[in-house]
Amino acid sequence: MLLRLALWVACVASTLAQLTTDMDRMLDWCLDGKLHKSRPGSEDKLHQHCTPWRERGCCTAETTRSIHTSDLHGFSFDHCADQTAGRKMSDKCRRHFQRDLCFYECSPNVGPWVAKVDMKIRNERFFKVPLCASSCIDWYEDCKEDYTCTENWSRNFEWVNGTNRCPAGSKCYQIARLYRTAKSFCEKVWDHSWQYTEDKEPCMQVWFQPGGGNPNDVVARLRAAQLTGNSATYIHSATYLEATWVMLVIVGLMWVW
């Protein structure tokens, strides 16, 4: 009886250890991308909108400077300038896309939403990460008067000499006309990388004040717990194992007595 109990405890311990390992990996994840670090770490000189990830992030200082000073990966937000008399993306809208790029390059919280892809600049992407409705609405409101020529910026552009161009025959429209709603905009613009989620539900912030901790940590932890099994088992695993070992000792003492 004692041997069987010991084997059962060992099996439970092994299972919980594997769950913990799987969760820890998902919660410390950098995308397999051209500019991403292999593991999250601290960076003292992250630039402007990328500063929230100084304590733990997947981006380098050089990458964050490029986000703010050049067309990262050759992608131009001013793709409608030729059709709109040279009108470029507004500063207020560009700020949101720069923060979105910072999240993409820097966030260590996307492990539970990673999907494999086959692209020149990355082998992984995140898919349907829950985006807080308030963040989405702010983003849409600041961009709705700007212009674009396609709903899906990940798939529909033509690429010429390493730069995105509007598809042949397409026309540029205001974002408000093309997408109609904040939900449609946030979900479609990057091919469903984001999923519009009410603030009362666990959801991600594209940007947050640096120095106050990362509010997205808890959201990723909740999702990782769902993917690896019973969240209560994970949260209380230490207590559960402790109680099991106590029971084992008691049974052992009774057997000796």
Residue 120's pLDDT band (cuts 50, 70, 90): confident
Q: Where are the alpha helices (DSSP H) in 165-256?
A: 175-179, 182-188, 216-228, 231-235, 237-256
Residue 149 pLDDT more than 90?
Answer: yes
Q: Supply the pLDDT for residue 3.
A: 52
Q: Supply the pLDDT for residue 4.
A: 54
Residue 138 pLDDT more than 60?
Answer: yes
Residue 88's pLDDT band (cuts 50, 70, 90): very high
User: Does residue 254 form part of some domain?
Assistant: no
Residue 134 pLDDT more than 90?
Answer: yes
Strand partners, 129: 194
User: Does residue 16 form part of some domain?
Assistant: no
Number of structural domains (the chain) is 1
User: Does residue 239 form part of some domain?
Assistant: no
Q: Are strands 194-197 and 129-132 parallel, antiparallel or unpaired?
A: parallel
Residue 86 pLDDT more than 90?
Answer: no
Q: Supply the pLDDT for residue 22.
A: 67
User: Does residue 95 form part of some domain?
Assistant: yes
Question: Quick check: 64 and 107 in contact, CB under 8 A?
Answer: no
Over range 188-199, report the average pLDDT.
Answer: 97
User: Does residue 136 form part of some domain?
Assistant: yes
Q: Supply the pLDDT for residue 224.
A: 92
Q: Which domain holds residue 54?
A: 31-214
Residue 85 pLDDT more than 70?
Answer: yes
pLDDT digits (tens, 9 = 90+) for 2-53: 555 444 444 434 443 444 466 777 788 899 888 889 899 888 778 889 999 9
Q: Supply the pLDDT for residue 76.
A: 94
User: Does residue 23 form part of some domain?
Assistant: no
User: Does residue 238 form part of some domain?
Assistant: no
Map tokens 């029971």 to a residue: 247
2-26 and 237-256 are packed helices; what angle lies between their axes, rounded to 10 degrees? 170
- pTM for this one? 0.80
User: Does residue 115 form part of some domain?
Assistant: yes
Residue 199 pLDDT more than 70?
Answer: yes
